[in-house]
Structure 1
């Protein structure tokens, strides 16, 4: 970490107290840190290069050394907790590989995943969403009011581009009714938590990504049942109230609980957070494998059509998410974030809802394929955008 350069003359206590907290810049060979106010004698600075402050939001929050808890022995570098964190990060980065491996195993040995019950699906997804909620605080959710343009654009594109793309693609490819319903269902789901990881790798706006995921997830209790019933009702019978109850149970309630735990029980969240990536990756892989295993023979017979439809769906989300954001005058980094958020769906939610509320297990197949497809898309985009830093004033 770069050292603080003290000015030649120390300011008086009154002058120091009047210094605004937001005049703090990361030290580089050509910049320096102004002396922090007395209330912030030591700053904890994140090493993540993509965690830029949100445009229009002053960085006023700091952590005083006197209020920081002493690090536990398990949190020391090289300790068990640090090892768990590193393994969790490795699992998250290899997310597409684990899901693809599970789906391949399900096609080869379907019995490997047929043990998963509907109750196990609900519990697994609930724990995954609880982990997402633990990354948020109530203060984070309140910051949504401070950047309405980016959040409003992302929210609007999330619930227009993807549902309309799912509907049109199912028509153009003349998908069978259950596949069409599944494609529309996953297109109406909120943004996936893996989008936050991809945004970080792409060096885009991570804070905006987290808030967009939270906003679309909270709204999913209403938007997913409403859009699915309107767009997929012509293919299969849809129970919007049943979808609303299930979505609230496995998405809204766990995320709210996680945010409350992070806000008021930070020590507990810090102790369990290293194991959450294990739960998330394992849940997604197992649930997708289960959806594939239940329909292995049908997928082998007509899987190409489903794969093509899912490829077109997510390609449309990534493309129009970026292009329309730029047309709205949003900076490059935030436009990349919106593209990732729109293109990546909570496919596991689609798998769970399809298995619970649709008559044919074939409805879950596009949702399972979607989990692999958007992860591959996102990984490729992250690699490309990481090597192309934003070059405009707003996105830099």
Structure 2
């Protein structure tokens, strides 16, 4: 039942987004809940990890370095280029670039499993990029858009520590020390994370109803292209670097799927509700495209017997 709920994440996100668009007054008062809800998501991520998950860094440092480098080089650069090509308004550009500067998405591990990629590698890449986010996310955001909009680098760093590092670390500690006591409850955390992300999306949609009517199509185009180029570049660069099919799929998913919830929380706090719109739409779209890509790769593997 819980797995079914999690697998239908895009559907819940679409349904609640439509509800938020029609009845914005129901969701918009919960703007202040975005940050605590993301903390819940990050704690849920941490509770599924242990110190053992980071050992792969020592065993395959080259692949980990390549995946992390692509995550933090390609996605901000793609967002920056798209912003200028599409002539995005400054606030939306800020939101899209911030999204590109965020670490890998928490749903990437599930998508990787469905795509028959390397789940252990996916978990390690997500964990490493998440731990590096408190330095790289604010630094890269300032580098790309600091001339266009004020970027509080120190404030963003502190926020990421509070929203991401502390909850993740707490989750890892609890999982490591009390694993046998919480084993039967672990399966509930991914579902709780899905519910929290869906509600965050709904809040942002509600806050941006008027903006969606005026700039919605442009933001959708930007998000679709950003995500698509992320998947494609992650896959083909991995292939060009000599990685096998399984690793290439894993890195493509890690590069293409962002922690959009983090971008939403930071955009609302440091820019505006409009700047959070790319992240909210990305949350829906990258899960739809990730699931579709996983289904394609999985069926292709079954046909070829790989």
- The two structures have a TM-score, normalised by structure 2, of 0.96
- The total of aligned residue pairs comes to 306
Residues 149 and 389 of structure 1: is their aligned pair in 2 closer, same or farther, counting only changes over 3 Å?
farther
SS of equivalent to 2:150: coil
1:322 aligns with 2:235: yes
Q: Is the 8 A contact 1:332 1:390 kept in 2?
A: no
1:135 Cα offset (Å): 1.5
Q: Distance in 2 between matches of 1:388 and 1:181?
A: 38
Q: Aligned-pair distance for 1:312? A: 0.6
On the 8 A contact 2:79/2:226 being kept in 1, the answer is yes
Matched, 1:257 2:170: yes
Query: 1:306, 1:381 → 2: CA distance?
Result: 22
Whether the aligned pair in 2 keeps the contact of 1:192 and 1:213 (CA below 8 Å) is yes
2:186 — aligned with what?
A: 273
The question of whether the paired residues in 2 share the 8 Å contact of 1:134 and 1:269 is answered with no
1:145 to 50, 58, 63: 58
Structure 2, unpaired ranges of 5+: none
Residue 388 of structure 1 corresponds to 300
Decide which of 204, 211, 217 is 1:291's aligned counterpart: 204
Deviation at 1:275, TM superposition (A): 2.0
The answer to whether the 8 A contact 2:56-2:121 is kept is: no
Aligned to 1:344: 257
Q: What is the rounded CA distance, in whole Å, between the counterparts of 2:292 and 2:15 in structure 1?
A: 18
- 1:133 has 2:46 as partner: yes
Secondary structure of the equivalent of 1:389?
Answer: helix
Q: Which residue of 2 aligns with 1:239?
A: 152
Q: Does 1:365 align with 2:271?
A: no
Match of 1:213 in 2: 126
Residue equivalent to 1:248: 161
How far the C-alpha of 1:390 sits from its partner, in A, is: 8.9
Structure 1: give runs of 5+ residues left out of the alignment.
1-86
1:89 aligns with 2:12: no
- CA distance in 2 between counterparts of 1:136 and 1:260 reads 9
CA-to-aligned-CA distance 1:286-316 (integer Å, 9 cap, x gap): 1111111111011111210010001110011
* 1:112 aligned residue: 26
**TM-score normalized by the length of structure 1:** 0.75
Counterpart of 1:376 in structure 2 is: 288
Instruction: Give the Å deviation of 1:108.
Output: 1.2
Q: Any idea what SS the aligned residue of 1:250 has?
A: helix
Structure 2 CA distance, aligned partners of 1:128 and 1:89?
16
1:308 equivalent in alignment to 2:201: no
SS of alignment partner, residue 102 of structure 2: coil
Q: Secondary structure at the match of 2:30?
A: coil
For residue 99 of structure 1, report the CA deviation from its aligned partner: 1.1
Q: CA deviation at 1:353?
A: 0.6
What is aligned with 2:93? 180
Say which SS state the counterpart of residue 28 (structure 2) adopts.
coil
Compute the displacement of 1:387 (Å).
1.0
Q: Which has the higher contact order (CA 8 A, sep 6+)?
A: 2
Q: Which has the larger radius of gyration?
A: 1
